[in-house]
Structure 1
Amino acid sequence: MTTTIDPVATAGLMTREVRDGSRDGVPTKIAVARRTYAGERDDLWNALTSAERLPRWFLPIDGELSVGGRYQLKGNAGGTVERCDAPESFNITWEFGGQVSWVTVSLSPADGGTTLELVHEAPVDPDFWTQYGPGAVGVGWDLALVGLGLHLATGSDNDATEFEEWTLSPVGVEFVRLASTDWADAAIAAGEDADQARAAGERTLAFYTVPPTTEPEA
């Protein structure tokens, strides 16, 4: 399936935005990703919230997927379901590596399909932000939403090994390069120093395309 991915066209399906925020007096950075998928909102909602369907394009998940329940993605983040207004939006905490951040996913009707907006807000260490910028978390979501698009388009299960190999292939590296550059441009539009943002984008590209021993996180 990954052989059909056009990196330029696929990277261009996403719009990316960076904002400053605050929670309980603590400064935060907010990465916003939007993409419109063909198909009905109910089907997209099911793909995002069904414990049976999530492993078909993302990761196996355990826990109670209802308000107040705890979830755990295999080998990745866990957290609490804070709010759920089906089939429009949900809020979850995103807890990984001892850090807590917050994710909001919203679905809205669009011409020819449904627009997904994903907002990830996190308190970020300034040194980490200087090193990677918003691409640290943003490119990870980009790749996940590519996987979602493949699943929705084909109705098939994604092959995790194949997808990982694609990410490190010339086509996959080009996609990550374009996504990293766009996240850097979003940071610049939000007021970040241009040279610093572009350098952080290059480091993000290297991180995602040279297999690391640990994952960056916001």
Structure 2
Amino acid sequence: MTLISDPAALAGMVTREVRTGSRDGKPTRIAVARRTYPTDQGDLWDALTDAERIPRWFLPISGELAEGGRYQLEGQAGGVVERCDAPKVFAITWEFAGQVSWVKVSLSPSGDDTELELEHEMPVDPQFWGQFGPGAVGVGWDLALLGLAAHIATGEPVDPDVGRTLHKTPEGKDFIRRAATSWAEAAMADGDDPDAARAAADATFAFYTVEPEDTPESR
């Protein structure tokens, strides 16, 4: 299965926005991604919330996928399902590497298609945000939404080997570069310094594409 045939077109299918917010009196930044899928709302909801379908485009998942339950993605984040209003919206905590952030996914009809809006809200860590900006989480979600699109189009699982090696291909690198640049532009629109935002996009691109053995520290 080929995930990326036209990097520019596929990167352009996602609308990206960055917002400044607050939670419990503390400042947050919110990365927002929107993409429309050629399927009905019920099918897209099922792909996003069914434990047997999620690994077909994302990662194996365990736990109780119901409001109040805990979930765990294999090798990635876990957390609590804080809200589940089928087939419209769910919200989860995203607990990874000792940090807690929040993800909300909303679905709405768009003609015969369905629009997905994903919001990832993060506490402001000046060092981390200054280094990577919103692309740190944004590009990861771009890649996940790409896999979701492939699954929706065919109904078949995404080949894990394709997903694992995508960042090594010219098409994958082009897609990641375009996505990181778009997140930088969204951050600038929310008030980030342009030079800092562009530098963060470069760091994000390197984070997603440079193999550990290619880094100076590993030589």
Shared fold per TM-score greater than 0.5: yes
Q: Given residue 32 of structure 1, which amino acid in structure 2 is its aligned partner? A: V
Partner of 1:198: 198
CA-to-aligned-CA distance 1:109-157 (integer Å, 9 cap, x gap) = 0034000000000113101111100000000000000000000001111
**Structure 1 residue ranges (4+ consecutive) displaced by more than 6 angstroms after TM superposition:** none
Aligned pair count reads 213
CA-to-aligned-CA distance 1:32-58 (integer Å, 9 cap, x gap) = 000000011100000000001101110
> What SS does structure 2 have at the residue aligned with 1:136?
helix
Give yes or no for contact 1:7–1:174 (8 Å, CA) kept in 2: yes
Q: Given residue 205 of structure 1, which amino acid in structure 2 is its aligned partner? A: F
CA-to-aligned-CA distance 1:172-195 (integer Å, 9 cap, x gap) = 000000000000000001111011
1:15-54 superposed matches below 5 A? 15-54=15-54
Give yes or no for contact 1:93–1:100 (8 Å, CA) kept in 2: yes
CA-to-aligned-CA distance 1:24-81 (integer Å, 9 cap, x gap) = 1111110000000001110000000000110111011110011100000000000000
Residues 1:9 and 2:16 are matched in the alignment: no
Partner of 1:125: 125
Name the CA distance, whole Å, in 2 between partners of 1:72 and 1:4.
28
Alpha-carbon offset, residue 166 of structure 1 = 2.0
Give the TM-score, by structure 2 length: 0.95
Q: Given residue 93 of structure 2, which amino acid in structure 1 is its aligned partner? A: T
Give yes or no for contact 2:4–2:172 (8 Å, CA) kept in 1: no
Name the CA distance, whole Å, in 2 between partners of 1:111 and 1:204.
35
Name the CA distance, whole Å, in 1 between partners of 2:43 and 2:3.
25
Residues 1:70 and 2:63 are matched in the alignment: no
> What SS does structure 2 have at the residue aligned with 1:2?
coil
Alpha-carbon offset, residue 4 of structure 1 = 5.2
Unaligned runs of 5+ in 2: 214-219
Which has the larger displacement, 42-51 or 17-26?
Answer: 17-26
Percent identity (aligned):
65
Q: CA RMSD in A?
A: 1.1
Partner of 1:138: 138
Partner of 1:216: none
Name the CA distance, whole Å, in 1 between partners of 2:49 and 2:4.
26
Q: Given residue 105 of structure 1, which amino acid in structure 2 is its aligned partner? A: V
Unaligned runs of 5+ in 1: 214-218
Give yes or no for contact 1:103–1:120 (8 Å, CA) kept in 2: yes
Which has the larger displacement, 189-198 or 2-11?
Answer: 2-11
Name the CA distance, whole Å, in 2 between partners of 1:2 and 1:202.
26
Q: Given residue 91 of structure 2, which amino acid in structure 1 is its aligned partner? A: N
Give yes or no for contact 2:81–2:91 (8 Å, CA) kept in 1: yes
Partner of 2:96: 96
Alpha-carbon offset, residue 165 of structure 1 = 1.3
Alpha-carbon offset, residue 3 of structure 1 = 5.7
Name the CA distance, whole Å, in 2 between partners of 1:35 and 1:4.
16
Partner of 1:178: 178
